[in-house]
Amino acid sequence: MSVLLAFAAAFLFATGTWMLLQRRLSRILIGVGLVGHGSNILLLMSGGDGGVSPIIDTADPSEFADPLPQALVLTSIVITFGVTAFLLALGFRSWRITHDDVVEDDVEDRFIARRHETDQAIAEEELAERDQAVEEGRR
C-alpha cells in the first residue's frame, strides 16, 4: 500500500469517469476499461504490500504477496473481459442500425420533458371537461 498506487487508482477512476460522461459508446467503453483498471489496483492493494509470487517451495511463505486479492482480481478481469466483449457487440449492433455509436437520449423521457415544457398534461382533456361541469353546477 502506497500513496503512489492509491494515486494511480484515483487517477484511473478520474480519467475513466471523464470518458464515461461522453456520448460515444466507444469512449464510454474505454472509460469502463479505465475505471475497471482502477478498481483492480485497489483490489490488488487490499492485500497489503506486494511480495514474491505465492508459489509454495519457491520462497518463504512470509514473503508472499497476498494471493487472495490476486485471485479476486483475476476473476474480476475475466468478468470484465466478457462483459466488454458483449458491449462491443452492442456497439457493433448500434453501428449497423445507426452507423454511429452515439448513445441517444431516451425518446420517451424526452417526450415527457417536452410535454412538460409545453404544459400539456395528459389529464388536461379530462380536466377541461370537468371544469365545464363545475361551471354549470355553479350556475
Partner 1 sequence: MSEPSNAPASHGTLARSRRMMLLDTSMKVLYPSILVLAMYFLLAGHNRPGGGFVGGLVVGGALALRYVSGGAQAVRSTFRLPPHLFLGLGLLMSASTAFVPVVLGGSILEHGDTTFHLPIFDKVKVTSALPFDIGVDLIVIGLILMAFAAFGEDVPDAPGAADDGSDAPSPALKIRSKP
Partner 2 sequence: MNALIPLPIIVPLLGASLCVIAARARWIQRIVSLSALTCNMIVAITLFVRVDDRDMVVMQAGGWPVPLGITLAVDRLSAVMLVVSSLMLLAVMVYAIGQKAEESRYAAFNPVYLVLAAGVSASFITGDLFNLFVAFEMMLVASYVLLTLGGRPDQVRAGMSYVVISLIASTFFVTALAVIYAATGTVNMAQLAERMPELPPGVATGFSLLLILVFGIKAGLFPLFFWLPDSYPTASGAITAVFAGLLTKVGVYAIIRTQTLMFPPDARQGTLLLVLAGLTMIVGVLGALAQDDLRRMLSFHIVSHIGYMIFGLALFTLAGVAGAVFYVVHHIIVKTALFLVAGLVERRSGSDRLSRVGGLVRSAPVIAVLFALPALSIAGLPPFSGFVGKFALVSAGIDSQDWLIVGVSLLVSLLTVYVMVRIWSNVFWGEPEDPAIVAWIASEESRVPRLMTASASVVVALSVALMVFAGPLYNYAERTAADLLAPQRYIESVLGSDAP
Partner 3 sequence: MFFLLLLHLVIGIAIVAAGKMLGRRAFLVAAIAPLVTLLWAAAKAPGVLDGDPVTESFAWIPQLGIDIDMRLDAFALLMVAVISGIGLLICIYSMGYFSHDKPGLARLAGVLVLFAGAMLGVVLSDQLIALFIFWELTSVTSYLLIGNDDTNPRARAASMQAIFITGAGGLVLLAGLIIIGQAGGTYRMSELLADPPTGGAVNAGIVLVLIGAFTKSAQAPFSSWLPAAMVAPTPVSAYLHSATMVKAGVYLVARLAPMFAMTGSWRLVVMVIGASTMSIGGLRALRQTDLKLLLAYGTVSQLGFMMLLLGVGEYHIAEAGLVLILAHAAFKAALFMVVGIIDHETGTRDITELHGFGPSWRLVQVVAVVSAASMAGIPPLFGFVAKEKALDGYLEHGDFAGATAVLVVIVLASILTFAYSARFVLGVFGAFGDVDRPVVSRTAHAPGAVFVGPSVVLAVATIVFGIVPGLLDDLVEGATTALYPASEPKALHLFAGFNTALLLSVVIIVCGVLLTVLRTRVTGVQRRASEVIRPIPSGEQGYLGVLRGISAVANRVTATVQNGSLPIYIAIIILTVTLVPAAAFATEIGPLPQWVEEPAHVVLVAVMVAAALGASIVRHRIAAALMLGAVGYAMAGLYVARGAPDLALTQFSIETLSTVLFVLVLRFLPRSWRHRAPSIAAPMRIAVAAAVGVGIFIFALSAGNARSSVDEPSMSEVMVEQSLPKGKGHNVVNVILVDFRGWDTMGEITVLLVAAIGAVSLARPGRRRSDDHAPVFEEILDAGDEPALPEPLR
> What would the x/- binding string for partner 2 be over residues 46 to 85, using CB under 8 A?
xxx-------------------xx--x--xx--xx-xx--
> What would the x/- binding string for partner 1 be over residues 13 to 52, using CB under 8 A?
----------------------------------------
13-41 b/e (C-beta count within 10 Å ≥ 16 → b): bebbeebeeeeebebbbbbbbbbbbbbbb
If binding is defined by CB under 8 A, does position 107 make contact with partner 1? yes
Q: Which residues contact 17 (CB under 8 A, 6 or more apart)?
A: 31, 35
CB 64 within 8 A of CB 46: no
DSSP 65: P
Cα–Cα–Cα angle for 73, 60, 42, rounded to 5 degrees: 20
If binding is defined by CB under 8 A, does position 8 make contact with partner 2? no
Q: Within 13 Å of residue 6, how many CA atoms lie on the same side as its CB?
A: 6
3-state secondary structure of 102: strand
Minimum Å distance from CB 10 to partner 3? 4
Q: Which is nearer to partner 2, 96 or 138 (CB)?
A: 96
Q: Which is nearer to partner 1, 61 or 82 (CB)?
A: 82
Minimum Å distance from CB 135 to partner 2? 23
> What would the x/- binding string for partner 3 be over residues 116 to 135, using CB under 8 A?
xx-x-xxxx-xx-xxx-xx-
**Cell numbers representing residue 84 in the block:** 466488454
Q: Which residues of this chain interact with partner 1, rule CB under 8 A?
A: 53, 55, 74, 78, 82, 85, 88-89, 92, 95-97, 99, 107-108, 111
